[in-house]
Amino acid sequence: MRIEEESQGVSASTKHLVFAYYVTGHGFGHATRVVEVVRHLILAGHDVHVVTGAPEFVFTSEIQSPRLFIRKVLLDCGAVQADALTVDRLASLEKYSETAVKPRATILVTEVEWLNSIKADLVVSDVVPVACRAAADAGIRSVCVTNFSWDFIYAEYVMAAGLHHRSIVWQIAEDYSHCEFLIRLPGYCPMPAFRDVIDVPLIVRRLHKPGKEVRKELGIADDVKLVILNFGGQPSGWKLKEEFLPSGWLCLVCGASDSQDLPPNFRKLSKDAYTPDIIAASDCMLGKIGYGTASEALAYKIPFVFVRRDYFNEEPFLRNVLEHHQCGVEMIRRDLLTGHWKPYLERAISLKPCYEAGINGGEVAAHILQETAIGKNYTSDKVSGARRLRDAIVLGYQLQRAPGRDLAIPDWYATAESELGISTPIPPDVDNSLNLSGENFEILHGDIQGFPDTVSFLKSLTELDAVNVSEKKSEKSRERKAASGLFNWEEELFVARAPGRLDVMGGIADYSGSVVLQLPIREACHVAVQRVHPSKHRLWKHAQARQNSKGQGSVLQIVSYGSELSNRGPTFDMDLSDFMDGEQPISYSKARQFFTQDPSQRWAAYVAGTILVLMTELGVRFEESISMLVSSSVPEGKGVSSSAAVEVASMSAIAAAHGLDISPRDIALLCQKVENHIVGAPCGVMDQMTSACGEANKLLAMVCQPAEIIGLVEIPNHIRFWGIDSGIRHSVGGADYGSVRIGAFMGFKMIKSTASEILSHSLPSTNGLNHDELEGDGVELLGAEGSLDYLCNLSPHRYEHLYAKMLPESILGEAFVEKYANHNDPVTIIDHKRTYGVRASTRHPIYENFRVKAFKALLTSATSVDQLTSLGELLYQCHYSYSACGIGSDGTDRLVQLVHEMQHSLSSKSNDGSLFGAKITGGGSGGTVCVIGRNCLQSSQQIFEIQKRYKGATGYLPFIFEGSSPGAGRFGYLRIRRNLSSKQS
């Protein structure tokens, strides 16, 4: 239902009504729009009790009436900001738990008593969840007024933060399900907890004075270009400088501290300044997106230069409204902080904002609330609360779904992929060249090898050229717009391809030197690279502005497809001179700081970091500009090494474009340095080695000491592997990969120390073993164990015989350092205040190395049920060993249990079995499980049945990985050139 702006608004009611209006404890945007609704309710003669954590002056400065009552109570916390532009997801959930979950029972009792005491006729919420439940308990109708709901915002947070917070989303959705209906504002997010919706115009604060009068009072001439800086608290450590503004501009700063010194072309606004009037009097606004800033920019047709807010999940929907109405310009954070404002401001004032819809939403919403309180029924097709709850839970899982695999995914979330056509299958009888050597591209080197995804990627390059000459660029995605001007089509391009990997055996034991068995998967990353002389490069406007101010130099520009499916910006650019410190490359630690300053562009460390590693390790110097396009179909956060695929494809393409002859093994080792030292992830090398050196339908066997390939293991024809994604991203809560790694290195240090002490008579007896009784072989073994290079070189029986009982279950970091000084791991740092699990973390790689060797030997043994059963048993053992280390998850446990149930079902036993085992993979704490079974139709049917049952239990449809493709080394590279003659004809 939609209420148009010509609604009659609020008329004085013959009945005096009492409204209880709950306002969420998140930012001023909610409070300022509530003011407009409340003002109209009071004008109609009603009492309004506002329940809020916001300051009173926000309401009382606009409404001076004895009918307004302010009750200061915080019943939710919104999103906790790590800084002015970044939401801390885990802190948000933890604070909500402390604010609204733990004291929930008390809150409900208190609110019900209070609602009855004021004799409330209607409860209104913007958009406090518990208010709806309290209203229901008190027998009072409730209505929500909002553009987003907290179940939508938190759904992505809980997937990232761990299972112990997931019930928060369920509870919030259940609370909202008690709401009568939703008054929905423009720029809204999906809100499936509400089944009845009424759309209203923008709710926006009214103007008090015309723009000319505001300028006159501020003493600002009409010919001065005016920008208002509106961040609600500036980014920490940020210093404004005079050169940030173009000549003839003045910036009015909201929220500047009294002690802050500003340049002459910046001016502080007073604390009580009425910002809507100043926004309307300005030429443009620079700030962060929120409902308040976006609605006022739209209403008063003021161009808005905005900077992304990381994990602020309502932002894409507000941004779309701004851009659709020619009112928004996105600025990258680095340019905000370094003062490259000019191109953005100039672009903003060239816009012609065209929002013509209503802006009287406050009046319209107040009328609906009044009529509802009187008794009017606005709802149409009531659906049960349980149905609403189920929809909300499904949405939470959908946010983490496999791209393109779940038909139930709403269009708003699948847009980027559907435009790119990444997952569109190519019929086997189609000519894979797709006229690439005639009509579109000429392949000067390499072979597409019949890969459908490579054909699709090259087609996307062709379409980019079409976008570049098209007059319909506005219809394309933001990524495509940025990429359309990336390449010079008169120059050659170099394309590399690198797959993700399925960890069949080995997993987290790689950093301890284990043998690992890895299968390159079908999904892969493609990277196109072009070298361009600085005099010919085509730069984005903000990059060109930097060049104009600094002088011409080499520039790196990257576009990454799929940004709309995750929290990252679609583009990255930098001057390559930023990688130099005098005559030498900058340190890896400085590079890490460089890439972490903007979380939305942190992904660029995986791509651009390969350039710095080549500079540092091989002495390569890049004199020309570099343009890169990254397109990956390897799903992120699913434990199949999407990061390694990006790194290997990027470095392979860069090496090819610059004529560098680097072996696949060395590319893998260099890419590991990118991840360890620039990204800062303490991974082993198996991911990069598989992506670079793997071959299709074969297991790459390697000993990670540090990275020696020992062969390719043929997968027998009767055996098949699948990967099933749990939908749970790597958890940052509880034990994690890094802490388990540290625990393993601690245990390794203790074992070596113990061996040396026994050998040197420091311990006359350990576990009943006297040194005097040792024979020559025993002394030799202790000597070897005291100087081990890798933990996995210790055999399980020696571990059990001598060392298992002396290892502590866990140890405080401070206590370990005091006794052992360090743990000798170059890529992790011990937190002195943290307790690390030692025994399980140490035991796992020792036994895993043995399991992998046994698994490898069994693959080549005689075909039998015993062979498959034994292979499956090894997978199960590995899985439960992960859990003992603390890096399991309920999702992966559920999938393994489903495989186990399927294996022991009557139908499987009657056919000698189909599925035989499963294990969690990679870094654990979620991600994908690897399943082994017979290569037969029944196995595939059972995999799909598991997929179906998992969705039935969780609401999430798992992505199934099946099939394989070769590593980057086997693919090589393509050198292509656009066929300009066919284009002209």
For the annotated catalytic residues, the residue numbers are 687
Separation of alpha carbons 263 and 480, rounded Å? 39
Name the nearest CA neighbour of 954 among 394, 129, 473, 576.
394
| Residues comprising the chain, all counted | 985
Name the nearest CA neighbour of 363 among 786, 799, 8.
8
Q: Which residues pair with 496 in a beta bridge?
A: 527
Separation of alpha carbons 606 and 593, rounded Å? 14
Tell me the two tokens of residue 320: 């779309």
Residue pair 187/148 in contact by the 8 Å Cβ criterion:
no
**Torsion over CA of 213, 217, 218 and 219, rounded to 10 degrees?**
100
Whose structure tokens read 């000084």? 821
Which DSSP string do the residues of 344-368 spell out, in sequence order? HHHHHHH------S--BHHHHHHHH
Burial class (CB in 10 A: 0-12, 13-18, 19+), 812: middle
SS3 377: coil
Query: In angstroms, what CA-CA distances link 8 with 5, 11, 123, 368?
Result: 8, 8, 22, 10
Name the nearest CA neighbour of 852 among 953, 713, 743, 725.
713
Own/partner contacts of 590-597, CB < 8 Å, gap of 24 or more, are 591/677, 591/678, 592/677, 592/678, 592/679, 592/680, 595/678, 595/679, 596/680, 597/333, 597/334, 597/337
- Give every CB contact of residue 393 below 8 A, 6+ residues apart in sequence: 169, 170, 173, 955
Separation of alpha carbons 851 and 867, rounded Å? 14
Q: Which residues of 304-322 are buried (b: 16+ CB within 10 A; e: fewer)?
A: bbbbbbbbbbbbbbbbebb
Find the largest Cα–Cα distance for the chain.
103
- Give every CB contact of residue 237 below 8 A, 6+ residues apart in sequence: none
Which DSSP string do the residues of 127-154 spell out, in sequence order? S-HHHHHHHHHHT--EEEEES--HHHHH
Name the nearest CA neighbour of 958 among 930, 937, 924.
930
Residue pair 159/638 in contact by the 8 Å Cβ criterion:
no
Give one word for 450, left, alpha or beta, with left for phi > 0 and alpha for psi -120 to 50.
left
Give the DSSP letter of residue 45: T
Residue pair 368/14 in contact by the 8 Å Cβ criterion:
no
Separation of alpha carbons 893 and 900, rounded Å? 10
**Torsion over CA of 13, 18, 23 and 29, rounded to 10 degrees?**
20
Name the nearest CA neighbour of 261 among 245, 288, 242.
242
Tell me the two tokens of residue 192: 């499936």
The angle, 0 to 180 degrees and rounded to 10, between the axes of the packed helices 642-657 and 686-693 is: 50
Separation of alpha carbons 719 and 914, rounded Å? 10
Separation of alpha carbons 199 and 360, rounded Å? 12
Name the nearest CA neighbour of 924 among 719, 730, 733, 769.
730
